[in-house]
């Protein structure tokens, strides 16, 4: 195996074949809402019930989805490398769904937060949560009521795991972006950063990503087909 330190960046395109449509697409998960109405701190403060209900519905839908061949292939790569002590796989995901976890990947970092965790705005406690969040849901740490929100990064809030992300991008020898358009900063800069530190960079996407110049190779097509094929080849080398 040529690579020891593989970092994935996954976006909405990897979850679309599992029935979780990209947010802005037709019939996307925004349910025809403007993201500004549900994914900003102001929206949450102005109308918490509306925002909580939106994410409660989204959570239900996301938790019912199943991983597809692309998620499973990444998990298999992690397992094979770990079992043979040849290297490790880390996944930075822009997705708030839990499909990587369901595929049994263990090194998953949700840079935009996760639908399956909740946070208290008062004491900043974060906990695993698959239930609906209500206005009366108390924080398990400080017992406050009305301070519990989905642990999701709203627009203009800083990404999670920034330090770790830097570390991964610096140390990767193979960086693979899957199902991400390369339009949204700062994740759109990750490939360039990994490349600057010497990683080989690859993209698996339906369409050419906007930052295609940052990739050594761009593989066009459905990631649930192209990625398992590539990983199979990688593991046979
Ligand atoms: Zn609290």
Q: What is the CATH number of the domain that holds 51?
A: 3.30.1600.10
- Mean per-residue pLDDT of the chain: 92
CA of 136 to the centre of ligand 1 (A): 13
- The verdict on 84 and 107 lying in the same domain is yes
> What is the predicted pLDDT for the residue at 234?
93
Of 96, 127, 152, the last residue of a domain is 152
- The verdict on 124 and 100 lying in the same domain is no
> What is the predicted pLDDT for the residue at 21?
73
pLDDT at residue 121 tops 80: yes
Express each pLDDT in 148-165 by its tens digit.
999 999 988 999 999 999
Coil, helix or strand for 227?
A: helix
* Residues 198 and 236 sit within 8 Å (Cβ to Cβ): no
Of 102, 132, 152, the last residue of a domain is 152
Helix residue ranges per DSSP H, the chain: 12-15, 35-38, 41-46, 48-64, 69-83, 99-102, 162-171, 190-196, 223-236
Lowest mean pLDDT among 4-8, 110-114, 179-183: 179-183
Average of per-residue pLDDT across 44-48:
92
pLDDT at residue 35 tops 90: no
CA of 141 to the centre of ligand 1 (A): 5
- The verdict on 136 and 231 lying in the same domain is no
- The verdict on 94 and 196 lying in the same domain is yes
- The verdict on 59 and 81 lying in the same domain is no
Confidence category of residue 38, pLDDT binned at 50, 70, 90: confident
Closest listed residue to residue 95, CA positions, set 122, 52, 65: 65
State the catalytic residues: 112
Confidence category of residue 33, pLDDT binned at 50, 70, 90: low
CA of 211 to the centre of ligand 1 (A): 40
Average of per-residue pLDDT across 3-28:
82
CA of 186 to the centre of ligand 1 (A): 29
Task: Tell me what percent of the residues of the chain surpass a pLDDT of 90.
Answer: 84
> What is the predicted pLDDT for the residue at 22?
58
Of 128, 152, 176, the last residue of a domain is 152
> What is the predicted pLDDT for the residue at 225?
98
Put simply, whether the predicted model's pTM sits higher than 0.85 gets the answer yes
- The verdict on 235 and 132 lying in the same domain is no
More confident residue, 37 or 208: 208
Where residue 100 sits, what CATH number does that domain have?
3.40.50.1220
CA of 100 to the centre of ligand 1 (A): 28
Confidence category of residue 29, pLDDT binned at 50, 70, 90: low
CA of 146 to the centre of ligand 1 (A): 10
- The verdict on 15 and 120 lying in the same domain is no
> What is the predicted pLDDT for the residue at 31?
59
- The verdict on 143 and 235 lying in the same domain is no
In the chain, the number of structural domains is 2
Domain of residue 147: give its range: 21-64+116-152
Express each pLDDT in 162-197 by its tens digit.
999 999 999 999 999 999 988 888 899 999 999 999
Q: DSSP character for 145?
A: B
Q: Rounded distance, CA 206 to CA 222, Å?
A: 6
- The verdict on 143 and 207 lying in the same domain is no
More confident residue, 85 or 218: 218
- The verdict on 205 and 181 lying in the same domain is yes
- The verdict on 12 and 2 lying in the same domain is yes
- The verdict on 128 and 189 lying in the same domain is no
């Amino acid at each position: 195996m040529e690579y020891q330190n593989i970092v994935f960046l996954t976006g909405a395109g990897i979850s679309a074949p599992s029935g979780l449509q990209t947010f802005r697409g037709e019939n996307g998960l925004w349910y025809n809402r403007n993201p500004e109405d549900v994914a900003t701190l102001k929206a949450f403060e102005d109308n918490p019930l509306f925002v909580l209900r939106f994410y409660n519905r989204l959570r239900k839908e996301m938790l019912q989805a199943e991983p597809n061949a692309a998620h499973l292939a990444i998990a298999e790569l992690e397992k094979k490398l770990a079992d043979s002590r040849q290297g490790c796989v880390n996944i930075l995901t822009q997705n708030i769904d839990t499909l990587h976890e369901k595929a049994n990947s263990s090194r998953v970092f949700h840079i935009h937060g996760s639908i399956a965790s909740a946070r208290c705005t008062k004491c900043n406690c974060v906990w695993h949560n698959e239930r609906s969040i209500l206005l009366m849901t108390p924080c398990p740490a400080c017992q406050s009521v009305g301070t519990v929100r989905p642990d999701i990064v709203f627009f203009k809030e800083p990404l999670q795991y920034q330090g770790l992300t830097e570390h991964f991008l610096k140390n990767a020898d193979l960086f693979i972006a899957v199902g991400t358009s390369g339009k949204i900063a700062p994740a759109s800069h990750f490939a360039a950063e990994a490349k600057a530190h010497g990683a080989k960079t690859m993209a698996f996407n339906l369409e050419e990503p906007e930052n295609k110049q940052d990739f050594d190779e761009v593989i066009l097509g459905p990631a649930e087909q192209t990625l398992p094929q590539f990983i199979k080849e990688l593991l046979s080398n």
